[in-house]
Structure 1
Amino acid sequence: MSARLSQVSGHLTNSYGRGLLAGEVAIVTGAAQGIGRSVALLFAKEGAKVVVSDLDEKKAQLVVDEIKKAGGDALAVGGDVGADDFPKKILDATIKKYGKVNHIVNNAGFTFDRMLHTTPDDAWDIIMKIHVRAPFRLIREAAPYMRVKDQKNRENRSIINVSSIAGLHGNVGQANYSSAKAAVTGLTKTIAKEWGGFGVRANTVAFGYIKTRLTQAKEQGAAIEIEGKKVALGIPGMKEPAPDANYPNIPLNRPGEPDEAAAAVLFLASPLASYVSGHTLEVTGGQGI
């Protein structure tokens, strides 16, 4: 058994400080709720030291507190991923506390839905800024810590960019979001080609219908404030599905849970995916096949 594969013997563990990501450091953006929170908690459970980043630093700290209470190690860094100073801020905090970074999960994002012919420039620009420009700038800032030339002392390192089924197939009312999520795939493949020689893997995870605040009813009032503008989150008129609801466009006939989404991200970050790079993993319950 190779040294790399020996790290995963025993598979998932329930104890902190051991596991698939033992001793590694991961930055997770948009990690105060939904998929990002589940990723942060699962990574910590698998032994990673997690930098929990979110626009709402108080909520990010709650996730950190939860990790620490369970015996893990984490740091909260608040801020807007689209801000010019954000990449340096979070990398400086990460290196100061942990001395390295192994994984970056670019999960932060939101939707700003309009029909194409009524989409204003600002709704286009902000989605591109958060979903494409922000991940690019954070990855670029991390380059000195990820592109390690010493082949003998390389640790497991990866970039995981979050996309969507909308980026693969398009979606009504989401010209901006679909375009941004399609761009993420091209960015990821380029990183895989440019940084592969340094032992860095880069993959995309494209989610389908996962139960988060982005897929709940817009009438529930979830919103975020970006650059002074309040953006409502969710789907207009979305109703809570009945226990026996059918989903004819999803072969598994149900939406996914945030913890299921997080498990896919863990796979891509872990040594289980040591020879997986430049790939787009669809986590959709079969939707879109």
Structure 2
Amino acid sequence: MKMLENQVAIITGSGRGVGRQVAELMAEHGARVVVSDKDQEPAEEVVSAIKEKGGDAISVNGDVTSSEFPKQIMDETIQAYGKLDILVNNAGYTWDGMIHKMTDEQFQAMIDIHLFAPFRLIREATPYLRNAHKDDVAKGVDHYRKIVNVTSVAGVMGNVGQANYSSAKAGLIGLTKTVAREWAPFHVNCNAVAFGMVETRLTQPKEKGESVNGVTIGIPENMRQMIQMSIPQQRAGTALEAAQSIFYLASPLSNYVNGQVLNVNGGFYS
């Protein structure tokens, strides 16, 4: 059964990791997918992989923190597919530091990508998510559209060395709950997933030296081991497991779930 047949989904940060898994999973279930990433090459690879399996996808790439990006991605989505049903705000990275050493730039960067960017994208999607309900009513159609925001256990309970990231992710929870209240009458469900440790670029050993926007990402290996030991399931989650939780909140299975934060963390925090 294809639960997202003929629906259109935008997934930011979907060139790799959890975002890619979400894009491919939604495509398997019949969605037409807009793959978005700051880097064009991985995004195009995802589009090609989806098309090879008989799915339908395009890529719209750019920096989600740019003020011009929300209009760009909405315009190209509507031009290609004529509508929007699902928006997944997944793009992001970390820039850690203890609060007494954290710069204004470091703090603002996390607010911009994890909170301001989702706000702008949701606002730009108003005609296609909120206002589209009027046409549904006129046609006698009962259809729910979905927004899924990716937050973190750090936004729920805080985390040492992540005052900026935790603040942004906590703010995203507030945004999620407010949009849910404002747009629920228009059959728009807005929920969030709060991930614990999931195997992605952001949680790989920092010793690999990979960087995003000039910032080295990852977690020191000794800390990775300590974190996994503190998880009741004794392991990190996989990107697919994380993607499946997003899929649930984007699917008809969650039509009566609104304004919630789904903790996906192996029992680390509940």
Give TM-score, length-normalised by structure 1. Answer: 0.89
| 1:188 has 2:176 as partner | yes
Equivalence for 2:247: 266
User: Residues 124-161 of structure 1: CA distance to partner in whole angstroms, max 9, x if unpaired?
Assistant: 00100000000000000000111122422353301000
1:233 aligns with 2:217: yes
Shift of the 246–56 alpha-carbon distance from structure 1 to 2, 3 Å rule, reads: closer
Report Cα offsets for 1:248-275 as digits up to 9, x if no partner.
Answer: 4212121100000000011001111110
CA contact (8 A) 2:147 2:188 kept: yes
Contact 1:217–1:239 (CA<8 Å) still a contact in 2? Answer: no
Q: 1:82 to 1:246 in 2, by over 3 A?
A: closer
Which of 246, 249, 252 in structure 1 is aligned with 2:230? 249
CA contact (8 A) 1:102 1:155 kept: no
Distance 2:180 2:94 in 1: 27
Identity rate of aligned residues, in percent? Answer: 51
Structure 1 stretch 144-153 or stretch 204-213: which is displaced more?
144-153
Give the gaps of 5 or more residues in structure 1. 1-12, 14-18
* 2:265 equivalent to 1:284: yes
Residue in structure 2 matching 1:75, options 21, 37, 58: 58
CA-to-partner distance for each residue in 1:162-195, whole Å, 9 max, x for gaps?
0000001100100000010000110000000110
Distance in 1 between the 2:183 and 2:91 partners?
Answer: 23
State the partner residue of 1:139: 122
Question: Match for residue 48 of structure 2?
Answer: 65
SS state at 2:202 partner: coil
Larger mean CA deviation between 245-254 and 209-218 belongs to 245-254
| 1:217 Cα deviation from its structure 2 partner | 1.3
Paired residues, number: 265
Q: Which residue of 1 aligns with 2:154?
A: 166
In the other structure, the counterpart of 1:10 is none
2:221, 2:106 → 1: CA distance?
21
Q: Choose which of 72, 75, 85 in structure 2 pairs with 1:92.
A: 75
Partners of 1:282 and 1:42 in 2: CA distance? 20
1:193 maps to amino acid? R
Residue in 1 aligned with 2:256? 275
Runs of 4+ in 1 over 3 A off after TM superposition: 237-241, 245-248
Q: Give the whole-Å Cα distance in 1 for the aligned partners of 2:269 and 2:150.
A: 17
Tell me the distance in 1 between the aligned counterparts of 2:185 and 2:216.
Answer: 42
Bigger helix fraction? 2
Q: Which residue of 2 aligns with 1:44?
A: 27
| 8 A contact 2:201–2:217 mirrored in 1 | yes
C-alpha deviations, 1:5-35, integer Å up to 9, x for none?
Answer: xxxxxxxx5xxxxx11111000000001111
Which SS does the other structure have where 1:214 is aligned?
A: helix
Distance, in Å, in 1 between the alignment partners of 2:63 and 2:200 is 20
Which structure 2 residue ranges, 5 or more long, are not aligned?
none
Q: How does 1:3-22 map to 2 (within 5 A)?
A: 13=1, 19-22=2-5
Choose the corresponding residue for 1:178, options 155, 166, 169: 166
> Residue 238 of structure 1: CA displacement?
4.8
Aligned residues of 1:40 and 1:52 also touching (Cα < 8 A): yes
Match of 1:7 in 2: none
TM-score by length of 2: 0.95
